[in-house]
Amino acid sequence: MNIAAYRFVPLQNLPVWQAELLQAAQGLGLKGTVLLAEEGINLFLAGPEAEVRLWLQGLCQHQPFAGLRAKESWSEQVPFKRLRVKIKREIIRMNQAAVVPAAGRAPAVEAATLARWLAQGHDDHGRPVVTLDTRNRFEVDEGTFEGALDWNLSKFSDFPQALAQHAQSLRDKTVVSFCTGGIRCEKAALVMQEAGLKHAYQLEGGILQYFEDTDGAPHWRGRCVVFDERGSLDAELRA
């Protein structure tokens, strides 16, 4: 069983969290990566289903992570070679200290709603809908929404500058930013708001949630890159 999850929440005493989460995962024989920063947690773990669920249950018993939902997928083999619990400056690097998702999220749109908007060609107020891929170019090459904007990013920290160059053309449109699991869009949507885009959204749960809720059809093209040994997943969450 494979799980992926994140939460933007203020954390202190990071070495204490690091030691506790590492010990719990080691004790259950899990592999993968957990990133910790003062802004929150980002994790990708795999192992036998019972052990993965037990680790996640233990994590959720801590108040900062209560109710944390993980995206689940399945593979015949554990797609990680080792276990790492690391302390980072950001759980997703953007180099924009003023962007603090834990202080308040930008609006989000559910997968089913986005699918309906794309099918009808506009949002519920009649505005044109644009999907904006916030991922790096090699990820976009594997698959993306049909007609999505791609700014050919080499790294996520390039997003604010790219937005500054294109914001004017997006002001009268509904813009839905998307990424693999939602974490990049948490920051991207806030930056879009700060740039004056009044109708900026993030895709709730990212591409993986969209696959889970809609099977990707009919608007997704190709596969979705994941950062483990599986490489990428199809719209049915299969390697």
In this model, does residue 217 exceed pLDDT 90?
no
Which residue among the candidates 60, 179, 185, 224 is catalytic per the annotation? 179
Question: Domain boundaries in the chain?
Answer: 2-87, 101-233
What value does the mean pLDDT take over residues 226-234?
94
Please tell me the predicted confidence (pLDDT) of residue 2. Answer: 96
Is 224 a known active-site residue?
no
| Whole-structure pTM value | 0.92
User: Can you give the pLDDT at residue 98?
Assistant: 86
Picking from 198, 183, 228, the residue whose alpha carbon sits closest to that of residue 73 is 228
Fold matches, 2-87 and 101-233: no
- pLDDT mean across residues, the chain: 96
With H, G, I as helix, E, B as strand and everything else as coil, classify residue 36: strand
pLDDT in tens, 20-55: 999 999 999 999 999 999 999 999 999 999 999 999
Q: Which CATH architecture has domain 101-233?
A: 3-Layer(aba) Sandwich (3.40)
Give 143-204 as a DSSP string: EEETT-EE--BSSGGGHHHHHHHHGGGGTTSEEEEE-SSSHHHHHHHHHHHHTT-TTEEEET
Express each pLDDT in 181-215 by its tens digit.
999 999 999 999 999 999 999 999 999 999 999 98
Can you name the CATH fold of 2-87?
Alpha-Beta Plaits (3.30.70)
Q: How far apart are CA 127 and CA 123, in angstroms?
A: 5
